[in-house]
Amino acid sequence: MELLGVIIVMGLIASIVVVNWAGLLPGTELNASVHNLGAAIQGARSDAVSRNGEFRLYYDLEQSSWWVLSPYRDDGAPAMAEEERLIIRRGFFPENVVIQRVMIGGQEFVEGVVYVSFDAVGRATDHTVTLVHTRYETVMTIEVLPLTGLVRFHDGLFQRQVLEEGDF
């Protein structure tokens, strides 16, 4: 009888742990996606500085994927045409994580393929990428600062306010 009681109590504890783990998974999935993309952005910037060239990061909003394009061919020589450029990194988001929008220089994109650039001194195209976990509707935004190319992460939908002349 005591053994049956212990088994029931252990079963209840195990079911509580499983429910809590399932609740944590969506946040983990979105956070991992945001940090993986942040690492790709920093990698593209670092490659641009170290290899002294313009690297591009493409966002495919319909396929929820991204890739980094080098200014060089696969033999290391500079690419003369767009189709000669080498894809050096590619990433896909999990099924439940999608790119909701990309804001580039104040213009919003919600479909198609867009790209941003990183130059040899570390500057980047001013942009934000908003990712959504569709099942739980959690949102995170990645902000890329134009002058430095550095990355910031924000919970929810984020859009930096445009400064006016009177703000200075």
Stronger pLDDT, 141 or 25, i.e. the higher one: 141
* pLDDT the model gives residue 88: 92
In a domain, 56, yes or no: yes
Does residue 168 have a pLDDT over 70? no
Q: What is the pLDDT of residues 34-47, one digit of tens each?
A: 999 999 999 999 99
CATH number at residue 94: 3.55.40.10
In a domain, 114, yes or no: yes
State which H helix or E strand residue 87 sits in: strand 87-92
In a domain, 166, yes or no: no
In a domain, 100, yes or no: yes
For range 57-78, the mean pLDDT: 93
* pLDDT the model gives residue 99: 96
Does residue 3 have a pLDDT over 80? yes
* pLDDT the model gives residue 27: 67
Tokens of 87: 């894809």
The neighbour count for residue 54, using CB atoms within 10 Å, is: 14
Give me the numbers of helices (H) and strands (E) for the chain, helices first please: 1, 9
Does residue 21 have a pLDDT over 60? no
User: By residue range, what is the domain housing residue 43?
Assistant: 2-160
Q: What is the pLDDT of residues 119-149, one digit of tens each?
A: 999 999 999 999 999 888 899 999 999 988 8
Classify residue 20 as exposed, middle or buried by CB count within 10 Å of its CB (0-12, 13-18, 19+). exposed
CB distance 114 to 61 below 8 Å: yes
- What is the count of structural domains for the chain? 1
